[in-house]
Amino acid sequence: MVDDTETTFEKDDDSWVKKDETDFPVNQTTLDSAASAIASVDSDRVLEDVDDLSEYGLDSPSNTIKIVTKSDEEDGDDITTTLYVGDENSSTSQYYVRKDDDEKTVYLIDSSCVEPFAKSLNDYAQMEDFPAISNTDTITKISVDGDNSYELSKDEDTSTWSVKGSEDEEKADSATVSSLVSSFGSMAYSSLADYKCDDKSKYGLDKPYATIIVDYQEEVADDDTDEDTQDDTTASGETADEDASSVEENSDDAEQDTESDESVSETTDETSEAEDTDGEEAEDETSENSDSASDNEDSSEEETKMADKQLTILVGNETDDSSRYVMVNDSNEVYTMSTDTLSALTDKSEEDFWDMTVSYVSLNSLGSLKVNYQGSDYKVNVSRETSTDDDGNDTETVTYKLNGSDLDETTFTTFYNKLINMTAQKRLTDKYEPDGDAELTAIFTEEDGDTQEVAYYSYDTNYYAAVVDNKVYLVNKMNVKELFTAFESVVGTEEDSSDKTDSDEATTDDTKSDSTDMPGESIEESDDSTSETAGITNDSDTSEEENTDSQETDSTEE
């Protein structure tokens, strides 16, 4: 009995089939294991002269197993054995059974003989494998239609992803999408629910809970290659025939030259040898052409191409075991799949895929950066110069100036990396009105003229609000404080440079004043003054050289 229904499996030419339903996809391994389990049954205990079968659950058996075997005799009838299964002895993991029409004898047999027959019908069916995508890198689009509908699309030129739902399309977080994409390479069914579904409503598949569609590519055999190869082979064969004909003509000419005047025999011999050599080379070339044609023919059999494919998953009702019913592509089979696997797709919305990078502009494309920090304006200009050495190798030199003064590269890039790599914990979807002015505003201008602006406002004790266009990101307050500190280092570099310049100018003015105020001093004193002035000049030159070395060192470290 299977599912309280008498079910018969027969062996037909070494394959099991369901007697009343020959197209049922029988799992051959499952049936072979069941047959092996019952082929030889030993009883650990025999109870005889039983008066009350109900004590063992045999008055109303939980299952009936009928085994039909062929007779050892050539013309003998098949042998039928019927086992009636009663209660389980939980302390020994054994079952009480009786055999055939004998109602007085009860046997205690191991559970391994009974359990292979205590299955549902679908447990005896051969499950298909889920059509997992072998190369998930070829996935270009994922769309989910349900309570929260969204679509993920891949830009094949940049390999970046975007997400679109009820709002405008925007950049998606690459790590989040990558995790989702890779899951299509390992998806699997949990169990078979219906091998030939004729009523989708039983599983909630007539009006799916969600529909998942995946566009991808798959490597397939290139059927057009064989025809091209035949044309190439024919052309190659004709070339080989022409080359062979040329060899024969050269050989005939050589014989005629040999029979000519003896006075030029040496020359003729040399010519003949040369022509014979040409003939041998032609033969070798012909052989190579033939081998090449053969190689082309062999390689063509292995040539493949990429074909567009689509995977469609209908997601239905929940089951009792944390799964949902699914149907895939055009199959009539209904399977169950883990809710955890499906919820990674069906229970998401576009917001879950938003890129949380606040404002990213590559340093390589930056032309200038305007910053307003605590009410003061600053501007960093980026200059790039390319030089070529004697070997023709190009070297690009990048310099930075803050409000017109040289800016240390390491100091600036430390701040800039914090600025462009700032990530948010979440995004506000409600309208946001700042309470005051922004503590820091940055305006990026790229070399192509594109601009982007970000403003940081104090939000609460935990977050800063970073506003970019109509998007409001909530960023960890400690990360923003680190950004402010890094920019203060940038500003401090400019002030130090300005203070040093003012100090040098003051020293020069003092020297000139001292020289002017002492006209009556001796020549010796004047020389000393000149020496001191020269010393100041040398110190300045040395300082400039040290600054240059420092910049070169910083540039190398960066």
pLDDT tens-digit map of 309-356: 999 999 999 999 899 999 999 999 999 999 999 999 999 999 999 999
State percent of the chain over pLDDT 70.
74
Q: In this structure, which long-range contacts are made by residues 118-122, counting pairs with CB atoms below 8 Å and at least 24 apart in sequence?
A: 118/63, 119/2, 119/30, 120/2, 120/3, 121/2, 121/3, 121/5, 121/7, 122/191, 122/192, 122/193, 122/194, 122/195
- Closest Cα partner for 169 from 354, 309, 398? 354
User: Within 13 A of 428's CA, how many CA atoms are on the CB side?
Assistant: 19
What residue type is 86 in one-letter code? Answer: G
Q: What is the pLDDT of residues 392-433, one digit of tens each?
A: 899 999 999 999 999 999 999 999 999 999 999 999 989 999
Global pTM value: 0.69
Greater confidence, 94 or 290?
94
pLDDT confidence band for 298 (50 / 70 / 90)? low
Query: What is the separation of C-alpha 189 from the centre of its chain, rounded to a whole number of angstroms?
Result: 22
Check: CB of residue 71 under 8 Å from CB of residue 77.
yes
Question: How far is it, in rounded angstroms, from Cα 326 to Cα 328?
Answer: 7
Mean pLDDT, the chain, integer? 82
Residue-wise pLDDT for 449-503, tens only, equals 999 999 999 999 999 999 999 999 999 999 999 999 999 999 984 444 444 444 4
What residues contact 49, with CB distance under 8 A and at least 6 apart?
A: 104
Mind listing the pLDDT tens digit for each residue in 137-166? 999 999 999 999 999 999 999 999 999 998
Short-list 483, 449, 490, CA closest to 466: 483
Q: Pick the more confident residue, 44 or 501.
A: 44
- Please give the pLDDT value at position 294: 53
What pLDDT is recorded for position 405? 95
Task: Give the CB-side neighbour count of residue 431, counting CA atoms within 13 A.
Answer: 1
**What is the residue type of 442?**
A
- Helix/strand/coil percentages in the chain, nearest 5: 40, 30, 30
**DSSP strands (E only) in 48-189:** 63-69, 79-89, 94-99, 106-110, 141-145, 150-155, 160-164, 170-171
Candidate from 393-397, 437-441, 488-492, 547-551 with smallest mean pLDDT: 547-551
Q: Cα-flanking dihedrals φ and ψ of residue 359, to 5°?
A: -155, 105
Residue 343: phi and psi, rounded to 5, are: -65, -25
**pLDDT over threshold 80, residue 533:** no
pLDDT score of 229 more than 60: no
pLDDT tens-digit map of 262-271: 443 444 444 4
How confident is the model at residue 73, as a pLDDT?
77
Angle at 50 between CA 46 and CA 54, to 5 degrees: 105
Based on the number of CB atoms within 10 Å of its own CB, is 183 exposed (0-12), middle (13-18) or buried (19 or more)? middle
Residue 13: band (very low, low, confident or very high) from pLDDT cuts 50, 70, 90: confident
pLDDT of residue 78: 87
* 90 has pLDDT over 90: no
CA 417 from centre of chain: 26
How crowded is the C-beta side of 190, counted as CA atoms within 13 Å?
A: 17
Neighbours of 379 (CB within 10 A): 14
Read off the pLDDT band of 289 (50, 70, 90).
Answer: low
**Burial call 20-30: b when 16+ CB within 10 Å, e when fewer:** eeeebbbbeeb
Does 387 have pLDDT greater than 70?
yes
Rounded to whole angstroms, how far apart are CA atoms 261 and 253?
Answer: 15
Q: What is the pLDDT of residue 283?
A: 52
Helix axes 477-517, 409-420, angle to 10 degrees: 160
Closest CA to 416 of 486, 325, 504: 486
- Residue 346: alpha-carbon gap to chain centroid: 20
Judged against a pLDDT cut of 60, whether residue 513 lies above it is answered with no
Looking at per-residue pLDDT, the higher value among 548 and 475 belongs to 475
- Residue 37 predicted with pLDDT over 80: yes
Q: Is the pLDDT of residue 104 over 80?
A: yes
What pLDDT does 53 receive?
96
CA distance 86 to 52: 13
